[in-house]
Amino acid sequence: MNKPKIVIIGAGIVGASTAYHLAKRNQDVIVIEQHSAAAQEVTEKSFAWIHTTHEVAPPYQHLYDSALEEYHRLQQELPELNIHWNGALTWDISSPVKQHRFQKLNRTQLMELEPNLEEYPDEAFFASEEGAVNPIEITKLLLGKAQEYGAKVLLSTRVTGLEKDASQLIGVHTSNGFVESDIVVLAAGTSILELCSSLEIHVPVTSSPSILIQMKTSHKYIHTLISNAKFETRQLTDHILLAAEDYIDDSLENGPEAVGKRAFDTLRHSLKDGDQIELESIKVGLRPMPEDGYPIVGFDNRIKGLYLASMHAAITLAPLIARLAANEIINQQSESKLAPCRLSRF
């Protein structure tokens, strides 16, 4: 029996994770990416915190509960995968929902853990199990492994439309020609809106901008990941410091440049020898945000061969959801863990 031709649109963390899990199981996989390299859209601009301890609606709790275990499993499969299991510190924000997953630290303990801060709270919560990744590195690693297993990757190739025959998808129109398919996985971030609208399918996903600030440092300032009312920051490498901020608007006062520079100034004043930090870039990432904030994953019941894979917190959830999605695609059977993620819930 011939294997189905699976086309994955998008080479961010979701598309690369899905390609890896499918190709590893000897599937016929083609990844189509409009940019000249993987992880060039929202993945590149992700703070990349593997964050599993915040408040989550009960139907999705099991996905977040399994996310850390999935990352450890993936790291065993791929020893070259570098995950910073340094934990996350929070203070001056709402108390943790899963307090059993946190350790409460006093000022002295905080000074030992993070010696480069100018000021310390009286206490903070430490989630020692949480971590972070380099989003570009992990995406390229997964895509490279998928290629080693036989997946094809078409870079600099823009998808211009999806072709169907009656209610069956039969291929993808691209800037470099037509690609036949039996199954199309839409892991294209916010582009999922346009691609699905051409099929007269409404996917309730909006573009949710976020700001990532990258700074150059002479040494390692931050040892964990720190999130509080004043700043959210971590070291990407010993010489690159990241900060994340919420997008406000495009005005001169509150636009990305202004917000990014304020975050930069805040960190300079919050860290010892902070005047040595240099601002490198301020970027806006357009996150695909489902209407209720939770993943939209699974086959569409109107168009045969169409598989949706859209999610926020993609860095946290992509490895787990991609493995479950690969099971559904290969076995043509529903995974109960993905049941709350169907488009039909809207």
Q: What whole-number percentage of the chain has pLDDT above 70?
A: 98
Taking residues 201-215, what's their average pLDDT? 96
Is the same domain home to 242 and 153? no
Q: Which of 274, 289, 304 is the last residue of a domain?
A: 289
- Does residue 78 lie in a domain region? no
What's the CATH code of the domain at 270? 3.30.9.10
pLDDT for 150 beyond 90: yes
Is the same domain home to 216 and 284? yes
pLDDT, residue 99, reads 63
pLDDT, residue 63, reads 97
Is the same domain home to 285 and 297? no
- Does residue 77 lie in a domain region? no
* Cα distances (angstroms) measured from residue 335 to each of 93, 116, 298, 324: 36, 46, 9, 7
Domain that holds residue 225: 88-128+207-289
CB environment 68-99: b (16+ within 10 A), e (fewer): bebbeebbeeeeebebbebbbbbbeeeebeee
Q: Which of 289, 307, 327 is the last residue of a domain?
A: 289
Is the same domain home to 24 and 48? yes
- Does residue 67 lie in a domain region? yes
Is the same domain home to 241 and 92? yes
Is the same domain home to 140 and 273? no
Is the same domain home to 302 and 282? no
pLDDT for 2 beyond 90: no
What's the CATH code of the domain at 157? 3.50.50.60
pLDDT for 332 beyond 70: yes
Tell me the HSE value of 286 on the side-chain side, using a 13 A CA sphere.
Answer: 10
Adjacent-strand bridge partners of 132: 49, 84
Tens digit of each residue's pLDDT (9 = 90 or more) over 306-320: 999 999 999 999 999
Is the same domain home to 67 and 216? no
Taking residues 294-306, what's their average pLDDT? 96
CA 93, 95, 101, 104 dihedral sign is positive
- Does residue 83 lie in a domain region? no
Mean pLDDT of the chain: 95
Contact 236, 217 (CB under 8 A): no
Query: Where do the H-state alpha helices sit in the chain?
Result: 13-23, 61-77, 107-113, 135-148, 192-197, 256-270, 314-331
pLDDT, residue 81, reads 97
What is the number of structural domains in the chain?
2
Is the same domain home to 284 and 299? no
pLDDT, residue 96, reads 62
- Does residue 76 lie in a domain region? no
pLDDT for 1 beyond 70: no
Q: Which of 246, 262, 289 is the last residue of a domain?
A: 289
Is the same domain home to 109 and 18? no
pLDDT, residue 54, reads 87
- Locate tokens 């899963």: which residue? 98
Is the same domain home to 116 and 242? yes
Tens digit of each residue's pLDDT (9 = 90 or more) over 119-145: 999 999 999 999 999 999 999 999 999
pLDDT for 264 beyond 90: yes
Other CB atoms within 10 Å distance of the CB of residue 182: 17
Q: Which two tokens stand for residue 85?
A: 């299991």
Is the same domain home to 282 and 147? no
- Does residue 79 lie in a domain region? no
Tens digit of each residue's pLDDT (9 = 90 or more) over 72-111: 999 999 999 999 999 999 999 876 666 668 899 999 999 9
